[in-house]
Structures are given as C-alpha cells and as structure tokens.
Amino acid sequence: MKILVCVSNVPDTTTKVTFTENNTQFNTAGVQFIINPYDELSLTRGLELTEKLGGTVTTITVGLADTEASIRKALAIGATDAVRINAVPTDAYFVAEQIAAYAKAENFDLIFTGRESIDYNGGQVCGLLAEMLGLPSVNVITSIEVDGSTATMERDIDGGKEKLSANLPLVVSAQKELTEPRIPNMRGIMAARTKPLKVVEPTASELTSAAVGFELPAPKGSVKLISVEEAGSLISILHNEAKII
Amino acid sequence: MNILVFAEQIDGSFKKSAFEAVSYASQIAQAHSGSVTAVVPGNVADDKLAELAKFGANKIVSIKHDNLNGFNAETYAKVICNTATAEGSSIVVISNTYSGKSVAPRVAARLKAGIASGVISMPNTTSGFVVRRSVFSGKAFADVNLTTAVKVLAITPNTFNTLENAQATNIANAEAGLADADFTTKSVEINRLTGKIPLTEAEIVISGGRGLKGPENWHLVEDLANALGAATACSKPVSDMHWRPHSEHVGQTGITIKPNLYIAIGISGAIQHLAGVSSSKVIVAINKDAEAPFFKAADYGIVGDAFEIMPKIIEAAKAFKVN
C-alpha cells in the first residue's frame, strides 16, 4: 500500500500571533515551527496501516528550505521518504495544485491531509486535492481501517458521527481522535538523516486569492469580579446587565 | 449577477445554517442588484423548499434523487457545480458546517474558483472582492481578496443573522445527472446525538477543566447546562485524560466555538484554549487561582473554589428558569 501524507509546517500552538509590514505579514520572529498537529496524526495512522498491511508512507510539504526541520521530524517519526515542493504556500488552492501535480503520476492508494492547518484553518486541501485528482474524499475522519481495496471510516458530522466506506484510492482528512501522535525515538532521528528528501520545483499556477491584511481582535475590557458569597448573582447579572440569558 | 447557495437538508428539512446562508446571499444580491438561487440536493417536500424563499431565494433548484438524501461530498459537488453553470452564478455561498467544509473546496476546484472559508464578513467590493475570515484559530483575522471570476464563500455558522426577505416561491426541479458509479463513498450508519445540543450550534456553552478534579464531578457542569439549555464542553487536558469525549474539546486543536455565553469552570485559560473560545460574546471564568490567564479574557470572573461556587449558581439558574 502506497500512502501520501501532506505535512504543513505551522507555528507552535503557544505562539503569540503578531504581524509586520503594516499588518500584511505574519511575524515569524522567535516563532517555533512544528508539524501541523492533525498532519502528525495522519502520519502516525499511515504508519500504523503500513505496519499492518505493508507499504510505504511518503510525506509531501509545500514550503521553502526552512520547512526541512519539520520534514526531518516526520522522517524520524517513521515516514519512508519525503518530498518538498520548493515554493511559498500562498494559499490552499496553490498547495493542492502542487500536491496534485506530484501525486498524479505516483498512484497513491491513500492520501492523508489534516482536518485543517492550525495557522490558516482553511480545511480546504483535502477536498481541493481530491477534486483535482478525480478521487473521492472523506473529511474529519476519526478512524480508518483498510481491507483490500476498501476503506471503512468514521467521520464527524454536525451533532454526531457517520460510518462510511469507500474504495481506494481515496483522500481523507484527519480529525483529532484518529490516533495518538508518535514521538520519534533516537533510532528514528538517526535514520531520518539519511532518508531520501526529494526537492521538486513548483508547476505553474494562477493566483486565486491573496491575504491583503491581518488584524488582531480588540482586547477585552477588564473583568468584573463577583465574590464567592454572591456567586448566585451571576445569573441575574447575565440576565439584567449582560442581557445574554 | 447570480449568487448560488447550497442549502443543506438533513432528513428532508433545513437547519438554521441553511437559512443563514440564504440570508447572506440575499444581502449580497441586494447590494449588487443580483438574484439568489438555492440548490437543494435530496428529496425535500415543496412546503419545506418554500421556506428558502422566505429568506430571499428567488429560485429554488430541487434535485430529487434517493441517493442524494444523505450527504456525499463528490456527488453534491457535481450537482452544485452543474447548477452554478446553468444559472451563470459568479458567487457560491456554502455554510461552513462539517458537510460544507467537505463540499466547498471540491466545488471551488471544479469551478476553478478562489475560495475563502470561515468567512465572517460580507464581501467588500470597493477594491477587489475582499472578505474577512478568522485565522490562527481565532487569534487573528485575515482579509482575503479573491481574484477569480467565480468565488466560493464558506461562511461561519452562527455568525450571520437569518433575515426575512420573502420572495415569490419559484421551485424548479432539475435532474441529478448521476449514475450509480458516481457514488464512490457509501454511508453505512449515521448516529446523531439526540436530546443534546450540538456544541457548534449552542448559544450557551458550559465548559469544565482540570479544576473539577475528575469526571465524577461533571454533574456541576451538566446541571448548569441543563438549567440554562446549554451545551457542555471541556478543555484539552480533560479530553486527553478521557474524563470527557474528544468531541467536547474546545480550543485551538479542538472545536472553535462562538456562543453568546461561555462559562469556563476550573480552566486556567491557556493561549490554545482561549483561541477556540475568544469569539464568544460574553465569557465567565470561575477559577481558584486569581492569576489564571482566563480572567484577562473574561467579562465576568469569580475567584474561588468551584465546588463551593457552582451549587450557588446552579440553584440561581434553576430559580431563574422557573421564573
């Protein structure tokens, strides 16, 4: 079985978000970058499936050379090899086009993306990529098993869960419960240094969107404290003052 | 200009998110002398379809097909795109529910359209076509300019009002044009929580953290939620320790919510948690640590022991409900 895992390089979840260049660029100064947490789940689930069924797990990242620390970490966790498309990931459409261009000739059985990247939260690459490749897609999956050429999955739906089945090849996006992320061990870290990391130049692509500016939410006013003795008055305050209940 | 809205039906009727999407499209239409077409895959009775006209749909395209009764990303994308082409739509509006998130990018790729998801503003067309969306899980906003001829807007549920703007009911039936082979994914079973309010739709959310000391104390969260008709949620450590299901985890790597009222009990307010809840209109933090970061993000706070505080609030909430 041949699996492709899309890996996005994102700011660590503890990052205090700020912008530069008159609020048009994300300020990367002092920011630690990590593998997008949902992509880490995809990678781990991909490895679990190939350990059981045989096969390879390739990661693919659209990004410049500064993303290679995250890519090496993915290799240390256990990916067989990695591909980096040498371009700035301007928007999800561009990223999906680049991954589709690479994946077209490779005949992957299963392609994982994350539910969303924790920076731009688009959640679009799964559907875009599937449509570009003419494949079925199932998003926000919380489980996946593969038997022969059939995958059975559970996905989140509004207010519940759905069980589905689909034939491979297939594109899916990982939701939190999919599995527990793996931590690379020393052997994995050593092996990662010599695993293949192929750098591919991007294909031509037309711009579909551009972020023209960013803004931080207005800071909250100071908190109004209620004493423990008066805790019950919260309800009348929410009703009469905040007018929210 | 025609604006196409995907109005999702569940078991033959519409949820609020579908009316929000039609209202949103209708407002764009009014500002640009356009018209609104709603497309509904699946079998829906005419009187239900007519509800979309009430919120501003000039035309309702009903695509009746037994296999379209349940959501299916690939075939839904096909019928939405066929309708967009037939109607000459230049904007497609989709509510960013789980189904919306699944189908919107497929629609964008088929129509070669720029897409913005998690949209929280009306489009600004003074210079280009700019919409505001929430990024960094609520830590910031981005203004995105869509530069393609056709645009897909996946709007955040619970953000835009449903506005009545009754139009004459005009229902047109269209052929799905699908073969059995087009249904590549098969739904095996659907389980929806009954009697519980889905977290993403809830107007009030009561949430518990590690400060509650264990799952056996969750009645403090649930009793208040029941009294106020609220949904329940939890912090990441709580779901990681399996005190509560993952589906209740709100925060940067969980669900992002924006209810009218968010009450956090025994949650310190780490930056990742705040990212997922900071768009709530009113935030109440209850924590024994006066230095907890949540008090900087909250409108109201109570510093003290949750086990002493909660019974008082629950009692007051029950009394409030009776009155």
Domain boundaries, chain A: 2-217
Regions in chain B scoring below 70 on pLDDT: 195
Residue B305's closest chain A neighbor by CA?
A: A228
* B193 contacts A160? CB cut-off 8 A: yes
The confidence score (pLDDT) of residue B196 equals 74
The confidence score (pLDDT) of residue A218 equals 84
Cβ-Cβ contacts under 8 Å, B253 against chain A: 13, 37-38, 118, 176
Q: Is B177 helix (H, G, I), strand (E, B) or coil?
A: coil
In this complex, which of A127, A167, A216 lies closest to B102 when CB atoms are compared? A127
**Torsion angle of the four alpha carbons A51, A54, A55, A57, in this order, in degrees rounded to the nearest 10:** -10
* A236 contacts B135? CB cut-off 8 A: no
Regions in chain A scoring below 50 on pLDDT: none
| CA separation, residue B242 to residues A62, A198, A242, B159 (Å) | 35, 40, 34, 31
d(CA B49, CA B161): 19
* B135 contacts A121? CB cut-off 8 A: yes
Cα atoms in the 13 Å half-sphere on the side-chain side of B260: 12
| Interface mutation target, options B17, B67, B101, chain A, most CBs of A under 10 Å | B101
Q: Considering only the top CATH level, what class is A2-217?
A: alpha beta
Where are the CATH 3.40.50.620 domain residues in chain B?
2-182
The confidence score (pLDDT) of residue B321 equals 82
What per-residue string of b and e applies to B31-44 under the rule 16 or more CB within 10 Å gives b? eeebbbbbbbbbeb
The confidence score (pLDDT) of residue A221 equals 84
The confidence score (pLDDT) of residue B192 equals 85
Q: Give the residue among B169, B159, B157 at the shortest CA–CA distance from B8.
A: B157
Is it true that the peptide bond before B259 is cis, omega within 30 degrees of 0?
no
The confidence score (pLDDT) of residue A238 equals 96
d(CA B3, CA A149): 40
State the complex-level ipTM.
Answer: 0.95
Question: Strand pairing of A137-147 and B9-10?
Answer: unpaired
CA A30 to chain CA centroid, nearest Å: 22
Question: Strand pairing of A150-157 and A137-147?
Answer: antiparallel
A107 φ, ψ (degrees, to nearest 5):
50, 55
The confidence score (pLDDT) of residue B198 equals 81
Q: Give the residue among B15, B262, B269, B10 at the shortest CA–CA distance from B157.
A: B15
- Is this model's pTM higher than 0.90 or not? yes
- pLDDT tens readout for residues A139-177: 999 999 999 999 999 999 988 899 999 999 999 999 989
User: Which CATH number describes the domain made up of B199-322?
Assistant: 3.40.50.1220
The CATH architecture to which B2-182 belongs is 3-Layer(aba) Sandwich (3.40)
Residue A169's closest chain B neighbor by CA?
A: B184
The confidence score (pLDDT) of residue B138 equals 84
Where are the CATH 3.40.50.1220 domain residues in chain B?
199-322
The confidence score (pLDDT) of residue B197 equals 79
The confidence score (pLDDT) of residue B189 equals 95
